[in-house]
């Protein structure tokens, strides 16, 4: 009881201080903001922000909801809603059909070889091991970002992307920015030789303190009393992944380990401490690079990865995800108040979004009476190939699943004298008979102009014909692509995967209140460009949402 009273007293004090300091309008507002800050919460559905609104701190998410302009119906327009695709849209305004970032990874249609969205063998991580297919450059990104526009006009401007994931840092930073990503092998943040040959001294100094090690054997405990989580699914369910940090709170990060190492550093990301560490590095970047404090405009993108790992393991319906949202909210509050002091509350604009939403865990959905399940690619590929072999007398006409589609071996079909249209039609027919498959679109449909068939336009926006598989698959609602028996994922064109936050704050630059009009995340780049007095990126497909008061 005493502990609860202290917590309530602390929250009340934080509310009072927030009202007195951070929310006061600035005395004067520059014509253009000195700093644009994009905060990305990997894997955060909008329903989690509004669903826990009564439990938020006064100055985290609530800064936007109470004092900013926010869009309650913001969606991604493309159908294959995954991390790389979402991060490529935010500051380019271009869908994957233009950007080429069709997924996190895909297979080369001509060779079948794997391709990673930010993979580039010409570059390596600085002072860290670089595994094959590591994300080291934006080479695969075919479009410019808002940071590229800014630095083309003003080379002295700085554009910095920071994330727990390489793709979360590299894609928003664009071609002319600088990306720093967390290394799960070492617990350090690193850039790559695409950007520089050696780290600045401040990065070296930050890593020298071994900040990740400070979280070794630290306990992730629920932030609120047990009764506060009644709206969420309890811990320890059979479908919740128990490896890593376990599936029950409280949990000790690094429990039963002798000391910090790759297992610990990787597990740290799947906890609130991963966000805390990433924001600590972001603070160091703001301070040492003097972002927004040098007389030119800068852009900072910070993508927080922990929520995605937690939702993958436990599902967005879980108490663990609920509690992580609340911890994240408190970390955001501290970061925003740091920016108020370091940059000045009237000198910067905040935008917050997510790269995708999340599907409820199928096993949980089934207990609620929904038709839900898992589509396992490996046995499905075998079924399709067996059927194609029986029909055409040729083995392995289907190479593999690639991103959101099935990749057929077009050259093999031609070499065997087969009409590719016949092979494609037969493969589509077999896919449609598999459990959980709702629709299969052909390359011809995706390159056509049909705007009425459900989900075709969304999948078209995910389709780059030079990189994507010929057949694009949409599963039924509540079904997921899955190779393991537990956890959940995302990647569909359904609202639970497309509906994400789109929140803005910036006194003098951004108005206040909820907007219920349906908008798209492709609108973010043109909107920030207008606020900054810049042209939108050349390939942007969104529009300016006109946020000024």
- What pLDDT digit, counting tens, does each position of 167-182 carry? 999 999 999 999 999 9
Angle (deg, nearest 10), helices 166-173 and 83-90 = 20
Q: Where are the alpha helices (DSSP H) in 259-353?
A: 262-268, 272-289, 306-314, 319-339
**353 pLDDT more than 50:** yes
Which residues are within 8 A (CB) of 436 and not within 5 positions of it... i.e. 6 or more apart? 373, 374, 375, 475, 476, 479
Which of 25-29, 302-306, 473-477, 507-511 shows the lowest per-residue confidence on average (mean pLDDT)?
25-29
Looking at residue 83, its pLDDT comes to: 98
Rounded average pLDDT over 268-292: 98
Residue 24 confidence (pLDDT): 44
Q: Is the model's pLDDT at 12 over the cut of 60?
A: no
Report the C-alpha gap between 366 and 392 in whole angstroms.
39
Q: Write down the CATH superfamily of domain 35-323+334-365+495-521.
A: Alkaline Phosphatase, subunit A (3.40.720.10)
Q: What is the pLDDT of residues 461-483, one digit of tens each?
A: 999 999 999 999 999 999 999 98
The CATH T-level fold of domain 373-477 is Gyrase A; domain 2 (3.30.1360)
What is the model's pLDDT at position 157? 98
Mean pLDDT across 490-506? 98
Residue spans in the chain of domains classed CATH 3.40.720.10: 35-323+334-365+495-521
What is the DSSP code string of 64-107? HHHHSEEETTEE-SSSS--HHHHHHHHTT---HHHH---SSEEE
- Cis, bond preceding 464 (omega within 30 deg of 0): no
In tens, the pLDDT along 371-391 reads 999 999 999 999 999 999 999
Residue 10 confidence (pLDDT): 43
Closest by CA to 386, choosing from 396, 376, 377, is 396
Return the H-helix or E-strand segment holding 410: helix 410-415
Using CA atoms, how far apart are residues 77 and 215, in angstroms rounded to an integer?
38
Instruction: Write down the pLDDT at residue 549.
Output: 80
Report the distance separating Cα 288 and Cα 223, nearest Å.
32
Please tell me the distance from the alpha carbon of residue 414 to that of residue 213, in angstroms, as a whole number.
56
Residue given tokens 């329903």 in the structure block: 47
CA distance 452 to 390: 35
Task: Tell me where in the chain the CATH 3.30.1360.150 domain(s) lie.
Answer: 373-477
Q: What confidence category does residue 28 fall into, taking pLDDT thresholds of 50, 70 and 90? A: low
Whole-number Å distance between alpha carbons of 308 and 297: 31
Q: What is the pLDDT of residue 29?
A: 56
pLDDT above 50 for 27: no
The HSE-up count of residue 301 (CA atoms within 13 Å, CB side) is 38
436: tokens are 């959980």
Q: What is the pLDDT of residue 3?
A: 40
**Average pLDDT of the chain to the nearest whole number:** 95
Q: Does 88 score more than 70 pLDDT?
A: yes
* pLDDT for position 23: 45
Per residue in 225-258, pLDDT (tens digit) is: 999 999 999 999 999 999 999 999 999 999 999 9
Q: Tell me if residue 233 falls in helix, strand or coil.
A: strand
């Amino acid at each position: 009881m005493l502990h609860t009273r202290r917590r309530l007293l602390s929250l009340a004090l934080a509310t009072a201080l927030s009202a007195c300091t951070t929310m006061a309008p600035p005395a004067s507002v520059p014509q253009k903001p000195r700093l644009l800050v994009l905060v990305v919460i990997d894997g955060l559905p909008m329903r989690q922000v509004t669903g826990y609104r009564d439990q938020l701190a006064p100055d985290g998410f609530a800064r936007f909801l109470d004092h900013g302009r926010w869009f309650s119906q913001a969606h991604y327009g493309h159908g294959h809603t995954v991390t790389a695709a979402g991060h490529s849209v935010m500051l380019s305004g271009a869908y994957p059909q233009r950007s080429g970032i069709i997924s996190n990874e895909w297979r080369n249609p001509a060779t079948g070889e794997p391709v990673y969205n930010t993979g580039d063998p010409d570059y390596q991580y600085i002072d860290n091991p670089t595994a094959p297919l590591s994300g080291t450059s934006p080479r695969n990104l075919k479009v410019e970002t808002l940071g590229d526009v800014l630095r083309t006009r003003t080379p002295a401007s700085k554009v910095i992307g920071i994330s727990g994931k390489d793709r979360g840092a590299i894609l928003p930073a664009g071609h002319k920015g600088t990306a720093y990503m967390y290394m799960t092998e070492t617990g350090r943040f690193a850039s790559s030789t695409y950007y520089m040959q050696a780290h600045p001294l401040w990065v070296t100094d930050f890593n020298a303190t071994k900040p990740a090690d400070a979280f070794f054997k630290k306990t992730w405990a629920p932030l609120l009393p047990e009764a506060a989580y009644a709206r969420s699914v309890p811990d320890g369910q059979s479908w919740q992944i128990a490896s890593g940090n376990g599936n029950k709170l409280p949990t000790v990060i690094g429990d039963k380990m002798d000391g910090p190492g790759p297992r610990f550093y990787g597990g740290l990301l799947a906890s609130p401490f991963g966000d805390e560490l990433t924001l600590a590095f972001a603070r160091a970047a703001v301070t040492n690079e003097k972002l927004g404090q040098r007389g030119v405009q800068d852009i900072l993108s910070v993508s927080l990865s922990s929520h995605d790992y937690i939702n993958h393991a436990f599902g967005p319906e879980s108490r663990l995800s609920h509690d992580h949202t609340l911890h994240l909210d408190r970390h955001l509050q501290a970061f925003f108040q740091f920016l108020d002091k370091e940059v000045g509350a009237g000198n910067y604009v905040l935008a917050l979004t997510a790269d995708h939403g999340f599907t409820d865990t199928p096993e949980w959905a089934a207990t609620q009476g929904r038709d839900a399940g898992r589509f396992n690619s490996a046995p499905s590929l075998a079924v399709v190939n067996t059927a194609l072999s029986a029909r055409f007398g040729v083995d392995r006409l289907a190479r593999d699943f690639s991103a959101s589609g099935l990749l057929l071996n077009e050259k093999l079909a031609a070499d065997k004298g087969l009409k590719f249209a016949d092979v494609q039609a037969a493969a589509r027919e077999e896919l449609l008979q598999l459990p959980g498959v709702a629709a299969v679109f052909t390359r011809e449909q995706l390159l056509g102009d049909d705007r009425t068939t459900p989900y075709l336009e969304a999948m078209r926006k995910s389709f780059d014909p030079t990189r994507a598989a010929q057949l694009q698959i949409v599963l039924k609602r509540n079904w997921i692509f899955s190779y393991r028996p537990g956890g959940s994922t995302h990647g569909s064109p359904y609202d639970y995967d497309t509906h994400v936050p789109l929140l803005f704050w910036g006194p003098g630059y951004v108005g206040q209140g909820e907007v219920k009009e349906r908008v798209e995340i492709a609108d973010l780049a043109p909107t920030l460009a207008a606020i900054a007095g810049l042209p939108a990126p050349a390939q942007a497909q969104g529009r300016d949402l006109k946020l000024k008061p």
